[in-house]
Homo-oligomer: A and B are copies of this chain.
Amino acid sequence: MRVNSAARLSPVCAMVFVFAVGVHAQQKPCVTASKFGPNDQIGNLNYVTPAKTLAASKLITKGKAYRLGIETNKNTPAYGTRTFSITVLQPGQAGGASLGPTKTTYNDDIIAGWVGIGSQIDGLGHAGIDNLYFNCNKAADFTMPDGLKKLGIENVPAVATRGVLLDMAGYFNTDVVKEGTAFNRAEIEGAMKRQGIQSLEKGDVVLFYTGWQRLLGKDNKRFISVNPGLGREGARYLASLEVAMVGADTANFEVIPFENGAGIYEVHQILLALNGIHILENMNTEELVKDQAWEFLFTLGPARITGGVQAFVNPIAIK
């Protein structure tokens, strides 16, 4: 159906139509309109309710807490022209001077760097379709050089919800899933079945484990430029399940090389712009896999930098 309609329509309309699958385009103010209303800035994170959090807390059986963040520093592979550095200094203590009768000395630090490096969350203002972002926000209206005026990362609510880890390496019976391997509905359901996960639910955080972190420091070029990951059909499938966020242990999250006929980072567009689903990158889930901790309480509070597009993160999973 889609192809036929696309053939009859002009290119612009075809693209709109393709993106509008499953939605009655003419009933929405725009293709990226939020189901939560015109003022919504957090998309499916609206599904993380107290009931959801309470239920997720029952998943804790051992009390083991896991850091999902990797380290970020000047050697962390980064996309494009992104750079990162920190500087540590001892203000006002030149020459070894200390302060006061108890000889106080202190270190301070300064960050100068692109946020999209290492373990990060992509805010809903990160990726758009021809400058149209989530919930009908147009770039010209909400992006300023000193911060986003809408969809800024400071809007992310307290995240405490059910986390589900899909062990794709296990599903493909390998240590590291090959780049270009797309996870779509079949793979997702296959992994769930293998791991005994009954369902993916509204408000979940779904993380994919691929083993890709094993390339870090060994083949940084490959690490950053390609990886296995979610495909477009898989993205639409997860969106239909109304999960709150998705993530992976890769830098790019979605499958690269992109699928045949896919746009550039089209999965980011589907998740962020069309469905209000935040994305997490470089999630280190190695230990959760080792413990076979497939379902857990997932918590995350990104630093609330006003107008930020992304944030450095280190979510805590508790099993």
Contacts and interface: CB of A to CB of B under 8 A. Distances in A.
Interface of A: 15, 19, 48-57, 60-74, 80-83, 85-116, 118-119, 125-131, 138-140, 143-148, 154, 157-160, 262-266, 268-269, 297, 299-318
Contacts of A304: 67, 69-72, 118-119, 314
A41 to B, nearest CB: 14
A297 B299 CA distance: 11
B85 A105 contact: no
A115 B106 CA distance: 14
Nearest to A70: B304
Q: Which of A73, A74, A313 has the most CB of B within 10 A?
A: A73
A133 to B, nearest CB: 8
Given A65-B48, A114-B110, A146-B74, A307 B88 contact: yes
B86 A90 contact: no
A154 B92 CA distance: 21
Given A71-B154, A102-B263, A145-B80, A87 B90 contact: no
Nearest to A100: B264
